[in-house]
Amino acid sequence: MGLMLLLIVLAPLLASLVAGLFGQRIGKTWSHRITTGSVALSFILSLFVFKVVALDGAILNQNVYLWAEVDSIKMQFGFLIDNLSVLMMVVVTFVSLMVHIYTIGYMQDDPGYTRFFSYISLFTFSMLLLVMSNNFLQLFFGWELVGLVSYLLIGFWYTKETAAYASMKAFIVNRIGDFGFILGIAVILIYANSLDYIQVFDRLEVSVVGGKGDLPLDPVTQALGLSHQDLIALLLFIGAMGKSAQVPLHVWLPDSMEGPTPISALIHAATMVTAGIFLVARMSPIYEQSDMVLNFILIIGATTAFFMGLVAIVQTDIKRVVAYSTLSQLGYMTVALGASAYSAAIFHLMTHAFFKALLFLAAGSVIIAMHHEQDMRKMGGLRRHMPITYWTAVIGALALCGIPVFSGFFSKDVIIEAVHHSELPAAGYAYILVLLGVIVTAFYTFRMIFMVFHGDERMDDETLVHLKESPKVVTWPLILLAIPTVMAGFFIGPLVMGDYFSQVLLPVPATAGEGMRDVTTIMVNAERHEAITLLRESYTGVLGFIGHGLLSLPFWLALAGIGLAWWVYLKDDSVADKAHDKLPWLYRLLDNKYYLDNFNQKFFANGVVYLGTSLWSFVDRLLIDGLIVNGVGRAIGWGAGWARRVQTGYLYHYAFAMVLGLALMLGWILLALRSS
């Protein structure tokens, strides 16, 4: 098993190195064959591991390599393969495989073809390294490597100024979140004296068997009014806010659309942006002990879900609509985490990976047909020319809106119900916003569908003449992604309502002297956070869940949003113009993304530049150069100049100096004798 896990992780890395270092020699065909084949191998092996772990119950916690040991702290490379990590492995490798196949058609004429395949394979390796780790050090390496490769991918077309700016923006904003993340790891190391997940949970006394920890507080935590668990949970979540693009660290994600469309699907569907969601779920034993942080997570997630969805309403770039949709759906996942519905969050992560990758790739198919035009105002009527792209996009849109039978319905509905059942103070605020987010999501989603695929054809004559369906290498990934988009929701029984994340036997001892012990993939304190427990008690099966959904408020809100989009963009297109004329301030607010980018640019970016300039002017130029370096030089020059005046070369000057010195010495002696 250990060798197989190494192969799953290392196959994309080795393929990335081959394509990156030897791509020009082996050519485009072999570059995509090697990288796509490696990811396909990782996917197939992940399915086998899923069977062994999820179905047979063979949980693995294994250290493979010891990097270093400092006192009792071991820095190791290892795997924790449980139900959570193996689910992530399957999702990541499947979506990555679809993106690799899609890229063969989408990027075929790009001069950076081999380099692109090298990057996306490296990205897959980074994400697998992250989700399969059993310790915080390896997690940190995977975490940072994902950020680095995203910088390379977003700025892939580095000659474009906007792409270079977007990649730098993503890198810097994520570093802000990562600062909190690494501080959280440092606090863990201080209090737990270990980097191993299981040992950390035990030593912080937050495991299932240990209950809430009662470690003595130090002056820092006492001053802040926080427990160790509060402080660790808060710092780790700041890192998650950066990776998973939560307000206010969300600003990098829409600009990342400057990268090629396959990257949008890879980064924004199943990989980078879901890393923060995975982190909080993995650290559930810690988060379950901090109601304060859970309330904070609820507020942040709900704010992101609703207000980022509103911004999508005014977007005209097809990729940016889907990007802001990603922000909103990440908010739903975060809300689920705050309600202690970790299984619901992971379930929505899985369904979202399928339908959001589908929507991004469908948008890319449209862009190919439109000769890389992305403005929806210049599209229309494409369903007659691109039937496969149209129907797969509609399937993805229905899933995103939460229409029953489609996967998004099951995962979104269970999140809304979980928030409704939560007893935390912030749950009321979150519940209202996630409900309002349903109608907003339906409206902007079908606004995109109607503007792109329905109505009159608004493109130029040359584009219209050449309009046709994308090649099979593009459409086949759409079809393959459409299948789980429809079917994945039916796994709600075991994944959310069942015992998929319940207690399992861990064959590696957590502490010395132990044999096997019970642990949980995801821990929920049912006495304090009973949302999932209440949902399980009322669950009557998939058909019953669908029946309940047809009568629930979210379903009717979704229909209202779709109907409103139909009325505004197909029935009477003057409504949008009237709304713009009556509410220009609202349009400007949304179009400028709540002016957060302006604020960041003015106060943070320009503020840092001003601070740096001021420090250079005062400290470097005035203090160091002016006072110390040049000042010392000037002082020595002045002293040397004065000394040169003494050395005149005239004998009578020296004689006068000697007489003067002798007189002063005699005077000093006489004074000394008188005083004695």
> Where does 539-650 have alpha helices with state H?
542-551, 553-566, 574-582, 584-591, 596-599, 606-615, 630-646
Q: Taking 60 as the threshold, does the pLDDT of residue 262 lie above it?
A: yes
- What is the reported pLDDT for 279? 93
Radius of gyration (Cα) for the chain, nearest Å? 31
**Residue 225 pLDDT level (bands cut at 50, 70, 90):** low
DSSP β-bridge partners for residue 519: 504
At 507 the pLDDT is: 47
Average pLDDT over residues 440-451: 94
Which two three-digit tokens encode residue 664? 């002063």
Indicate if the pLDDT at residue 212 is higher than 70. no
What integer pLDDT is reported at residue 208 of this predicted model?
A: 35
Question: Over the chain, what is the mean pLDDT?
Answer: 86
DSSP 8-state code for residue 309: H
Q: Which tens digit of pLDDT belongs to each residue from 102-151?
A: 899 888 888 889 999 999 999 999 999 999 998 999 999 999 999 899 89
What's the pLDDT band for 518 if we cut at 50, 70, 90? low
| Higher-confidence position of 303 and 671 | 303
Question: Residue 316 above 80 pLDDT?
Answer: yes
Q: What is the pLDDT of residues 635-652, one digit of tens each?
A: 887 777 777 777 777 777
- In DSSP terms, which residues pair with 332 in a beta bridge? none
User: How high is the pLDDT of residue 205?
Assistant: 63
Tell me the pLDDT band of 93, cut-offs 50, 70 and 90. Answer: very high
pLDDT band at 442 (very low <50, low <70, confident <90, very high): very high
Q: Count CB-CB contacts under 10 A for residue 463.
A: 16
Q: What is the DSSP string of 363-409?
A: HHHHHHHTTS--BGGG---GGGT-HHHHHHHHHHHHHHHT-TTSHHH
* Strand ranges, E, within 383-539: 503-506, 517-520
**What's the confidence (pLDDT) of residue 223?**
61
Confidence of residue 222 (pLDDT cuts 50, 70, 90): low
Highest-scoring range by mean pLDDT, 163-177, 326-340, 612-626:
326-340
Share of the chain above pLDDT 90, in %: 43
The pLDDT value recorded for residue 210 is 37
pLDDT of residue 215: 47
Checking DSSP bridges between strand 517-520 and strand 503-506, what pairing results, if any?
Answer: antiparallel
User: Which residues are paired to 639 by β-bridges?
Assistant: none
Query: 340 or 1: which carries more pLDDT confidence?
Result: 340
- The tokens for 423 are 């007893």
User: Which of 1-5, 399-403, 603-607 is the most confident on average?
Assistant: 399-403
Taking only the tens place, the pLDDT of each residue in 613-631 is: 887 787 777 888 777 777 7
pLDDT of residue 676: 66
Q: How confident is the model at residue 520 (pLDDT cuts 50, 70, 90)?
A: low
The pLDDT value given to residue 604: 72
pTM tops 0.85, yes or no: yes
pLDDT of residue 342: 92
pLDDT, average across residues 250-275: 81
Tokens matching residue 7: 């192969």
